């Protein structure tokens, strides 16, 4: 029922809203090295749809972004005070190797509370993306290397400067494992017909491991797999993770994406002998972005449903089913020349979020399991240029633990203020 | 500068200033501190170094264990906080099962994994089952807050409470549960040892655990499958393997272990709410009049404690720390120590009114959570407490309501 309602909601949005655009107009970004020559883009193009600067006469282009903020958060009256956070520094290098052959890499320093905090070794400095693209035909491209699994819209389109919020959506980082990258290969293609755009992506990659149901969070937690330092060399299950996405866009309406990711996640074979049943994880995702005509109100939304095979004699703290998502509504209120910036914008925005990490009922009592969270985050942002954003956010959040308690050791009514900046360079 | 630019600049300066002012002075946009009466996670008055140790123990108490940090392979919960939400009572989803002992001669099923069933197991392991012929009981986790005060009650006071019951007109008797203590447990100051070498124990539903040190070691080992220096053998499934004879490497280090022991020891007692409310007072008077207080004694006094905040304090747990015969309705044919299978320790009633806040809005009372309201729990009292339960039924409706309101204030 929830799935049906969500699909209905997204469908209504699809028919009522107009031209697709990110929260910044990517056409205003400077000097893309060799991005798609098509007139319109989809979320799947986000990896190349960034500002690059060409290095002299070489085939190399570089770019990057940085993201930093200060936050003051209070849970049940308890605060750790002001926290200054340097979230990310990301460097892109792209190259057109030959006609129809291009390469892009993204090296990122990240100090963000994603992954399994109990297992993580601290800030990461690693390769987030490094893939070769060979175009045989616009409808048939081969991509291989370290890629971003195209689950939903946010995983492929997550650069800090594109958003009016200092934090990434909770459902995308604490339920889905954004940024979820894996070594692998696959095909993608696009077709444009009048106002319409169609795209597909289909990849096989490395995947999850047993940590998604055995982690310091004490809940089914796909991001825990990110903390494994061996996942870029060893697949826990020895089987591929399949990820596929279909995108439909209309420059008068918006873009909707339907995606799936799934495969066996557990180590079921040791020394050649089967020690456990194969257990799978399946993720379904719907994402939408569009702009209300006339008002220029931008809407981005994504909802995901996760189904995990859990051993029958395992603790109910680890859920079979999770779902959650977010919706961002961004309204430009001032646009034009401000101080010395010709193309500046002031936005007001709001983000609504919901995550249910444990959708089901207790066997012991028949009562509903909770472990869910609601959050609303109004924001004001100032963009002196489309590439740079200063943003001020206020968050109100309420949470239930697994039995529905609203106050506990780690939960309680939460509010936070954050001020941050992010910019492409 | 154009007026528009100036306006925007002023808008941003005002917004930013408002933010700073909000952070530093305006509490209304942030949640307020939980009223201590409604929360149980706070410590007693501690020195700064004790506070640091308490904080470290707090982190460990609410940490979730994984197989990499020792969980399993057989377990009931992934962390202390899973059973003791907010240091209060447990929820049926973490209820534990014990089996294999019917009298004071000990558990006859240790080689089959007794005394506790690993309700859950890690992926790949065979689920544990209760061996044929073993009787069992289900136990819901008791409240943790204030247990340091219970530990500091001298044995002599417990014996005195038992002796005072000899001529109790309601038939209340009760006795301390004497049990053998493991070698890693050091008897407390003033401990009274019986001729057979057993000591007065006081923790757990059967009052079979001597002190909090032993309780923490047992909880890590039996409830989470975590080995320590003190309990170095992992729980096992007798259908897959024999009882281990070689100690495993401790999965929790001694410093972490001590911090958790200190944490639970130094937890503040629950605070009664609305104590001056006329109905609450009326209910408390009726509670005493009908004989509930014969076992659920309001005031106990601690003796010596190395932690100053626990020493020589009078506190209100509403227990006598004795085991009482609760009648056939509560006889699960399982026991520990010297207690009969129908005997249970008087449950401290403090924090009772907060049970819905930690049990998901419902209440699960009595040793296995079988009672879903306070009224129901009272009606399930049999054996030595049958007279009091009957007296409650004879109270006027107003007095019954007052008793419930009094209990909800605890």
d(CA B312, CA A73): 40
What residues form DSSP beta bridges with B343?
B325
Task: Report in angstroms the alpha-carbon separations of A244 from A205, A363, B282.
Answer: 11, 34, 68
For position A41, what pLDDT does the model report? 81
Q: Are B283 and B402 in contact (CB under 8 A)?
A: yes
Q: Are B326 and B381 in contact (CB under 8 A)?
A: yes
Using alpha carbons, select from B146, B161, B260 the residue that is nearest to residue B203.
B146
For position B41, what pLDDT does the model report? 72
Look up the ipTM and state it. Answer: 0.88
Full DSSP string of B198-247:
-EEE-BTTTT-B-SHHHHHHHIIIIIH----SSS-S----TTTSPPP-SP
Point out the least confidently predicted range of A363-367, A382-386, B138-142: A363-367
For position B20, what pLDDT does the model report? 59
d(CA A56, CA A95): 12
Percent of chain A's residues with pLDDT above 90: 74
Task: Report in angstroms the alpha-carbon separations of B170 from B295, B330, B331, B382.
Answer: 11, 19, 20, 12
d(CA A95, CA A103): 5
Compare all CA atoms of chain A with the CA of B90 and give the residue at the minimum distance.
A403
**Residue-wise pLDDT tens digits, A114-137:** 566 555 555 678 899 999 999 999
d(CA A88, CA A161): 11
Q: How many residues are given for chain A?
A: 425
Domain boundaries, chain A: 2-424
Task: Report in angstroms the alpha-carbon separations of B130 from A115, B93, B125, B218, B239.
Answer: 38, 18, 16, 19, 10
Token pair in block for residue A323: 């779902």
Compare all CA atoms of chain B with the CA of A318 and give the residue at the minimum distance.
B78
The answer for residues whose C-beta is within 8 angstroms of residue B78's C-beta and 6 or more apart is A218, A315, A317, B64, B65, B66, B71, B224
Percent of chain A's residues with pLDDT above 70: 88
Per-residue pLDDT of chain B in tens (410 residues, 90 and over written 9)? 566 667 776 776 677 666 656 655 555 788 888 877 777 778 999 999 999 999 999 999 999 999 999 999 999 999 999 999 888 899 999 999 999 999 999 999 999 999 999 999 999 899 999 999 999 999 999 999 999 999 999 999 999 999 999 999 999 999 999 999 999 999 998 899 999 999 999 999 999 999 999 999 999 999 999 999 999 999 999 999 888 888 889 999 999 999 999 999 999 999 999 999 999 999 999 999 999 999 999 999 999 999 999 999 999 999 999 999 999 999 999 999 999 999 999 999 999 999 998 888 899 999 999 999 999 999 999 999 999 999 999 999 999 999 999 999 99
For position B21, what pLDDT does the model report? 64
User: Torsions phi, psi of A403, nearest 5?
Assistant: -95, 0
Looking at the complex, report in whole angstroms how far the Cα of residue A94 sits from the nearest Cα belonging to chain B. Answer: 37
Q: Are B359 and B138 in contact (CB under 8 A)?
A: no
Instruction: Kindly compute the dihedral angle of the four CA atoms of residues B82, B86, B90, B96, in this order, to the nearest 10 degrees.
Output: 40
Tell the residue number behind the tokens 């534990």, with chain if given.
Answer: B96
Which residues of chain B neighbour A279 with C-beta distances below 8 Å?
A: 123
Compare all CA atoms of chain B with the CA of A365 and give the residue at the minimum distance.
B92
For position A116, what pLDDT does the model report? 65
Looking at the complex, report in whole angstroms how far the Cα of residue B6 sits from the nearest Cα belonging to chain A. Answer: 8
Residue A315: which of B31, B120, B362 has the nearest Cβ? Answer: B120
Residue B32: which of A77, A367, A403 has the nearest Cβ? Answer: A77
What predicted TM-score, i.e. pTM, was given to this entire model? 0.89
Which residues of chain B neighbour A215 with C-beta distances below 8 Å?
A: 64, 66
Q: Are A62 and A92 in contact (CB under 8 A)?
A: yes
Compare all CA atoms of chain B with the CA of A276 and give the residue at the minimum distance.
B124
Q: Are B31 and B23 in contact (CB under 8 A)?
A: no
Compare all CA atoms of chain B with the CA of A405 and give the residue at the minimum distance.
B360
Give how far the C-alpha of residue B404 lies from the chain's centroid of Cα atoms, to the nearest Å. 22
Q: What share of chain B is helix, strand, coil (3-state, %, to 5)?
A: 40, 10, 55
d(CA A295, CA A292): 6
User: Mean pLDDT across the stretch A28-48?
Assistant: 61
CB contact under 8 A, B86 and A362: no
Residue A316: which of B93, B127, B360 has the nearest Cβ? Answer: B93
Give how far the C-alpha of residue B235 lies from the chain's centroid of Cα atoms, to the nearest Å. 22
d(CA B319, CA B147): 12
DSSP count for chain B of H helices, then E strands: 13, 11
For position B27, what pLDDT does the model report? 57
Q: Are B94 and B83 in contact (CB under 8 A)?
A: yes
Q: Per-residue pLDDT for A3 more than 80?
A: no
Full DSSP string of B126-184:
PPP-PPTT--EEEEPPPP-TTHHHHHTS-HHHHHHHHHTTTT-TT----B-EEE---TT
d(CA A260, CA A151): 6
Looking at the complex, report in whole angstroms how far the Cα of residue A269 sits from the nearest Cα belonging to chain B. Answer: 10
For position A227, what pLDDT does the model report? 86
Compare all CA atoms of chain A with the CA of B92 and give the residue at the minimum distance.
A364
For position B25, what pLDDT does the model report? 57
Tell the residue number behind the tokens 């991001």, with chain if given.
Answer: A223
CB contact under 8 A, B361 and A404: yes
Q: What is the CA radius of gyration of chain B?
A: 24
For position B247, what pLDDT does the model report? 85
Q: Is A244 helix (H, G, I), strand (E, B) or coil?
A: strand
User: Mean pLDDT across the stretch A67-82?
Assistant: 92
Q: What is the CA radius of gyration of chain A?
A: 21
**Residue-wise pLDDT tens digits, A291-350:** 998 889 999 999 999 999 999 999 999 999 999 999 999 999 999 999 899 999 999 999
**Residue-wise pLDDT tens digits, A183-233:** 999 999 999 999 999 999 999 999 999 999 999 999 999 999 998 878 899
For position A112, what pLDDT does the model report? 60
First to last CA, chain B: 66
d(CA A296, CA A345): 12
- Report the residue of A365, A380, A384, A402 to disrupt the B interface, i.e. the one with the largest count of B CBs within 10 Å: A365
Instruction: Quickly count: other Cβ atoms within 10 Å of residue A414's Cβ.
Output: 20
* DSSP-derived secondary structure letter, B252: S
Architecture of A2-424 per CATH? Beta Barrel (2.40)
Looking at the complex, report in whole angstroms how far the Cα of residue A188 sits from the nearest Cα belonging to chain B. Answer: 36
d(CA B383, CA B346): 13
CB contact under 8 A, B30 and A415: yes
d(CA A117, CA B79): 16
User: Mean pLDDT across the stretch A82-109?
Assistant: 95
CB contact under 8 A, B120 and A218: no
d(CA A345, CA A385): 7
For position B34, what pLDDT does the model report? 80
The dihedral sign for the CA sequence B384, B389, B390, B392: positive
Q: Are B179 and B338 in contact (CB under 8 A)?
A: yes
Helix ranges restricted to H, B290-322: none
């Amino acid at each position: 029922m929830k799935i049906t309602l969500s699909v209905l909601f997204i469908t209504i949005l699809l028919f009522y809203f107009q031209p697709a655009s990110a929260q910044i107009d990517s056409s205003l970004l400077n000097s893309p090295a060799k991005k798609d020559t098509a007139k319109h883009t989809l979320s799947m193009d986000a990896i190349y749809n960034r500002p690059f600067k060409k290095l002299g006469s070489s085939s190399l282009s570089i770019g990057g972004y940085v993201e930093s903020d200060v936050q003051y958060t209070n849970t049940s009256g308890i605060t750790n005070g002001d926290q200054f956070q340097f979230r990310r520094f990301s460097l892109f290098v792209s190259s057109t190797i030959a006609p129809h052959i291009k390469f892009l890499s993204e090296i990122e320093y990240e100090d963000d509370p994603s992954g399994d905090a109990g297992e993580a070794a601290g800030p990461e400095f690693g390769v987030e993306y490094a893939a070769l693209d060979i175009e045989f035909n616009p409808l048939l491209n081969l991509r291989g290397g370290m890629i971003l699994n195209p689950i939903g819209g946010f995983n492929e389109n997550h650069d800090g400067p594109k958003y009016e919020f200092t934090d990434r959506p909770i459902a995308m980082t604490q339920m889905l494992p954004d940024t979820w990258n894996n070594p692998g290969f696959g095909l993608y293609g696009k077709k444009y017909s009048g106002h319409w755009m169609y795209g597909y992506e289909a990849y096989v990659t490395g995947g999850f491991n047993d940590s998604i149901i055995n982690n310091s969070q004490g809940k089914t937690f796909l991001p825990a797999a990110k903390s494994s330092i061996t996942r870029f060399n060893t697949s826990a299950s020895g089987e591929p993770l399949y990820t596929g996405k279909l995108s439909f866009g209309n420059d008068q309406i918006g873009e909707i994406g339907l995606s799936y990711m799934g495969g066996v996640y557990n180590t079921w074979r040791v020394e050649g002998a089967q020690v456990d049943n194969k257990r799978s994880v399946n993720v379904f995702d719907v994402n939408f972005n569009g702009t209300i005509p006339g008002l220029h109100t931008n809407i981005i939304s994504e909802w995901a449903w996760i189904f995990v095979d859990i051993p029958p004699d395992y603790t109910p703290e680890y859920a079979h089913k999770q779902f959650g998502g977010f919706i961002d509504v961004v309204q430009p209120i001032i646009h034009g020349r401000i101080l010395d910036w010709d193309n500046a914008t002031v936005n007001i925005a709001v983000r609504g979020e919901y995550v249910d990490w444990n959708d089901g009922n207790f066997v012991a009592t028949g009562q509903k399991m909770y472990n869910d969270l609601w959050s609303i985050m109004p924001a004001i942002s100032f963009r002196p240029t489309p590439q740079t954003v200063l943003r001020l956010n206020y968050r109100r959040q309420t949470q239930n633990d697994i039995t529905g308690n609203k106050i506990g050791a780690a939960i309680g009514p939460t509010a936070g203020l954050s001020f941050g900046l992010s910019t492409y360079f | 500068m154009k007026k528009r630019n100036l306006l925007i600049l002023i808008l941003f300066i005002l917004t930013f200033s408002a933010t700073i002012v909000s952070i530093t002075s305006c509490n209304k946009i942030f949640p307020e501190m939980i009223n201590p009466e409604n929360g149980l996670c706070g410590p007693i008055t501690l020195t700064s170094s004790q506070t640091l140790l308490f904080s470290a123990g707090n982190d460990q108490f609410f940490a979730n264990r994984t197989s990499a940090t020792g969980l399993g392979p057989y377990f009931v919960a992934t962390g202390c906080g899973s059973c003791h939400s907010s240091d209060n009572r447990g929820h049926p989803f973490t209820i534990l099962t014990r089996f294999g002992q019917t009298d004071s001669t000990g558990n006859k099923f240790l080689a089959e994994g007794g005394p506790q069933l690993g309700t859950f197991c890690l992926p790949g392991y065979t689920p544990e089952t209760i061996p044929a012929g073993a009787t069992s009981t289900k136990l819901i986790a008791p409240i943790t807050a204030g247990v340091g005060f219970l530990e500091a009650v001298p044995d002599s006071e417990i014996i005195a409470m038992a002796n005072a019951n000899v001529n109790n007109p309601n038939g209340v008797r009760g006795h301390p549960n004497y049990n053998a203590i493991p070698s890693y447990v050091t008897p407390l100051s003033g401990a009274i040892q019986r001729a057979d070498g057993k000591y007065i124990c006081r923790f757990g539903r059967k009052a079979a655990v001597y002190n909090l040190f032993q309780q923490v070691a047992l909880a890590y080992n039996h409830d989470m499958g975590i080995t320590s220096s003190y309990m170095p053998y992992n729980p096992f499934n007798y259908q897959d393997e024999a009882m281990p004879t070689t100690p495993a490497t401790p999965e929790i280090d001694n410093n972490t272990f001590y911090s958790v022991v200190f944490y639970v020891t130094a937890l503040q007692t629950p605070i009664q709410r609305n104590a001056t409310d006329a109905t609450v007072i009326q209910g408390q008077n009726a509670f005493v009049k009908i004989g509930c207080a014969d076992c659920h004694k309001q005031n106990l006094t601690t003796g010596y404690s190395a932690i100053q905040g626990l020493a020589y304090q009078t506190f209100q747990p509403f227990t006598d720390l004795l085991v009482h015969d609760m009648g056939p309705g509560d006889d699960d044919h399982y026991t520990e120590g010297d207690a009969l299978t129908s005997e249970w320790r008087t449950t401290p009633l403090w924090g009772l009114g907060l049970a819905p806040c930690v049990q998901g809005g419902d209440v699960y009372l009595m040793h296995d959570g079988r009672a879903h309201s306070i009224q129901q729990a009272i009606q399930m009292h049999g054996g030595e407490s049958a007279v009091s339960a009957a007296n409650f039924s004879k109270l006027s409706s107003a007095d019954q309501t007052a008793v419930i309101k009094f209990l909800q204030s605890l």
